[in-house]
């Protein structure tokens, strides 16, 4: 550890590692401080994929998409409350972010859909595995290859300001007490606050009693540290619940299961919602059921296409049987009803018209290959859409509406990109696109001072 670096990055999730790599490639000497014993943050748990429009992989696969469509669908999903400047920046730089990852050996060329999009736009690893672990592994390899120092068990407590400019941090290494490390710029990439249930329920009292899918380090530290030096926040009460969380373990069940064809049924064995609706609407439909939970139902084809299912089976989340009737029996459900639900679903897939709930995507695969599977799920706290106010240069904005010099932020710690409802796959786009921008912009700032 040195007593000074060009730029200090707080947090080693996707946004932090991306910022560090970009800053290094732009000529800076960065350091990453991570408070947990392991790197990766909540990014490690992310499952669906990375949304990006007009990418080379979409073109190769004959998928027609445009930045305008990506923008409009994200804005509609966020109920028109997304920050237009930030959303434009995200969308317009999404394809180049896919290319950038590809040049680093991180290839997301397996494309699916999540709720709230009309075309396949969610880019996943080619083997269908969860995006988070793959991404963290790839980014970490690039951090190591560039010899960027990454210190774990290093909790940043404060951003230091000198002459109105960010000039370093106070950090506690291994609980040995705080020391000051100085720098020309600071990038906050500390993630959200979904693991701080007190903070969550203070901002959104209706979420009392929900489980959280977040790793324990997601406690909003970066938001509090930046607020202490005058930063503004936006949309703090906009907290996303994810519809498909295994309740006993708080484990998120990936949206890719629905994207690859699964349906949701209630305890009676009947569909009750367009499964590809946005997360807020699917969650509300589950909460409106008398039982307050639902089952994801799928077949061996979905299991083969979504590798995460194997993990869910190992963890004991999945019930399965050779026939639909037998599976229904295990779930305490009427076999004839569930069988009828699947028969009509397969007719819907054949006709491509969902008369019951108007589902328009993920209609490609009938659920017809034994064995059949079920996972019981209900909503859980998942993502905090609000956070630090930034501009499209990833600069942190003060409560006086001015730029705080030398201070940058990227990823879930920021607010504005997603508005009041995040589309699945947009968090990974956010951390890569704005992580890169924070790295590049902090570099040009630091170099302009030299």
The residues that are catalytic are 279
Minimum separation from the CB atom of position 163 to ligand ADP (A): 24
- Provide the b/e sequence for 145-170 (b: ≥16 CB within 10 Å): eeebebbeebbbeebbbeeebbbbbe
Q: How many CB atoms within 10 Å of residue 322?
A: 10
Q: Quote the CA–CA distance of 359 and 14 in Å, as a whole number.
A: 32
Minimum separation from the CB atom of position 195 to ligand ADP (A): 9
Minimum separation from the CB atom of position 74 to ligand ADP (A): 17
Out of 155, 255, 275, 354, point to the residue binding ligand ADP (CB under 6 A). 155
By C-beta, is 42 or 442 nearer to ligand ADP? Answer: 42
Size of the site for ligand ADP (CB under 6 A): 26
Out of 412, 422, 425, 440, point to the residue binding ligand ADP (CB under 6 A). 412
Minimum separation from the CB atom of position 284 to ligand ADP (A): 25
CB 118 within 8 A of CB 51: no
Minimum separation from the CB atom of position 13 to ligand ADP (A): 2
By C-beta, is 43 or 341 nearer to ligand ADP? Answer: 43
- By beta carbon distance, the residue nearest ligand ADP is 13
Residues 6+ apart with CB under 8 A from 103: none
Q: How many CB atoms within 10 Å of residue 179?
A: 12
- Residue 33 belongs to what H/E stretch? strand 30-33
Q: Are strands 150-151 and 30-33 parallel, antiparallel or unpaired?
A: parallel
- Provide the b/e sequence for 368-401 (b: ≥16 CB within 10 Å): eeeebbbbbbbbbbbbbbbbbbbbbbbbbbbeee
- Specify the stretch interacting with ligand ADP by CB under 6 A; choose among 81-89, 188-196, 330-338, 417-425: 188-196
- DSSP code, position 206: G
Q: Quote the CA–CA distance of 122 and 128 in Å, as a whole number.
A: 12
By C-beta, is 171 or 286 nearer to ligand ADP? Answer: 171
Virtual torsion, Cα 436, 439, 441, 446, nearest 10 deg: -170
243 binds ligand ADP (CB under 6 A): no
116 binds ligand ADP (CB under 6 A): no
Q: How far is CA 420 from CA 76, 91, 238, in A?
A: 10, 17, 5
190 binds ligand ADP (CB under 6 A): yes
CB 187 within 8 A of CB 439: yes
Please report, as residue ranges, which positions from 3 to 62 form the binding site for ligand ADP (by CB under 6 A): 10-16, 33-36, 41-43
Q: Are strands 122-124 and 110-112 parallel, antiparallel or unpaired?
A: antiparallel
156 binds ligand ADP (CB under 6 A): yes
Minimum separation from the CB atom of position 115 to ligand ADP (A): 20
Out of 135, 148, 185, 189, point to the residue binding ligand ADP (CB under 6 A). 189
Backbone φ and ψ for 384, nearest 5 degrees, come out as -105, 110
384 binds ligand ADP (CB under 6 A): no
Please report, as residue ranges, which positions from 422 to 441 form the binding site for ligand ADP (by CB under 6 A): 431
Minimum separation from the CB atom of position 73 to ligand ADP (A): 22
Backbone φ and ψ for 183, nearest 5 degrees, come out as -160, 165
Please report, as residue ranges, which positions from 212 to 231 form the binding site for ligand ADP (by CB under 6 A): 217-218, 221
Q: How far is CA 261 from CA 130, 241, 255, 310, 368, in A?
A: 17, 22, 10, 17, 11
By C-beta, is 41 or 115 nearer to ligand ADP? Answer: 41
Q: How far is CA 103 from CA 58, 98, 139, 415, in A?
A: 17, 9, 12, 29
Taking each helix axis from N to C terminus, what angle separates 14-25 and 131-145, rounded to the nearest 10 degrees?
30
Q: Quote the CA–CA distance of 24 and 13 in Å, as a whole number.
A: 17
By C-beta, is 53 or 218 nearer to ligand ADP? Answer: 218
By C-beta, is 219 or 274 nearer to ligand ADP? Answer: 219
Minimum separation from the CB atom of position 255 to ligand ADP (A): 17
By C-beta, is 40 or 379 nearer to ligand ADP? Answer: 40
By C-beta, is 11 or 115 nearer to ligand ADP? Answer: 11
Contact positions vs ligand ADP (CB under 6 A): 10-16, 33-36, 41-43, 155-156, 189-191, 217-218, 221, 411-413, 431
């Amino acid at each position: 550890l040195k007593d000074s670096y060009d730029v200090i990055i707080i947090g080693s999730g996707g946004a932090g590692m991306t910022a560090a790599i970009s800053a290094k490639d732009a000529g800076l000497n960065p350091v990453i401080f991570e408070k947990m014993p392991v790197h990766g943050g909540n990014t490690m748990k992310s499952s669906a994929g990375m949304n990006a429009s007009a990418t080379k992989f979409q073109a190769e696969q004959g998928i027609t998409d445009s930045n305008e469509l990506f923008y409009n669908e994200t804005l509609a999903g966020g109920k028109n409350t997304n920050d237009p400047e930030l959303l434009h920046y995200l969308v317009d730089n999404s394809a180049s972010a896919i290319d950038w990852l590809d040049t680093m050996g991180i290839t997301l060329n397996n494309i699916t859909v999540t709720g709230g999009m009309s075309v396949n736009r969610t880019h996943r690893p080619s083997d269908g595995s969860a995006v988070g672990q793959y991404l963290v592994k790839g980014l970490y390899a690039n951090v190591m290859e560039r010899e960027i120092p990454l210190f774990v068990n290093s909790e940043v407590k404060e951003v230091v300001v000198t002459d109105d400019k960010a000039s370093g941090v106070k950090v506690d290494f291994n609980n040995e007490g705080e020391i000051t490390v100085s720098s020309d710029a600071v990038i906050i990439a500390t993630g959200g606050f979904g693991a701080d249930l007190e903070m969550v329920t203070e901002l959104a009292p209706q979420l009392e009693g929900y489980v959280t899918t977040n790793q324990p380090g997601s406690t909003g530290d970066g938001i509090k540290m930046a607020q202490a030096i005058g930063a503004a926040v936006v949309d703090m009460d906009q907290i996303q619940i994810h519809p498909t969380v295994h309740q006993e373990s708080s484990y998120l069940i990936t949206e890719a299961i629905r994207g690859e064809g699964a349906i949701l049924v209630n305890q009676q064995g009947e569909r009750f919602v367009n499964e590809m609706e946005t997360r807020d609407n699917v969650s509300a439909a589950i909460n409106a059921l008398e039982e307050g939970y639902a089952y994801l139902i799928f077949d061996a084809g979905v299991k083969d296409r979504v590798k995460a299912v194997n993990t869910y089976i190992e963890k004991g989340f999945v019930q399965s049987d050779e026939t639909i009737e037998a599976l229904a029996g295990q779930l305490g459900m009427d076999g004839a009803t569930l069988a009828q639900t699947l028969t009509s679903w397969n007719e819907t897939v054949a006709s491509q018209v969902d008369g019951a709930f108007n589902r328009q995507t993920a209609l490609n695969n009938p659920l017809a290959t034994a064995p059949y599977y079920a996972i019981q799920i209900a909503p859980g706290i998942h993502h905090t859409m609000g956070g630090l106010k930034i501009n499209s240069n990833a600069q942190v904005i003060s409560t006086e509406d001015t730029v705080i010099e030398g201070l940058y932020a990227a990823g879930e710690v920021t607010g504005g990109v997603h508005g009041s409802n995040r589309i699945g796959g947009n968090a990974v786009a956010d951390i890569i696109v704005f992580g890169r921008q924070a790295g590049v912009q902090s570099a040009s700032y630091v170099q302009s001072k030299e």
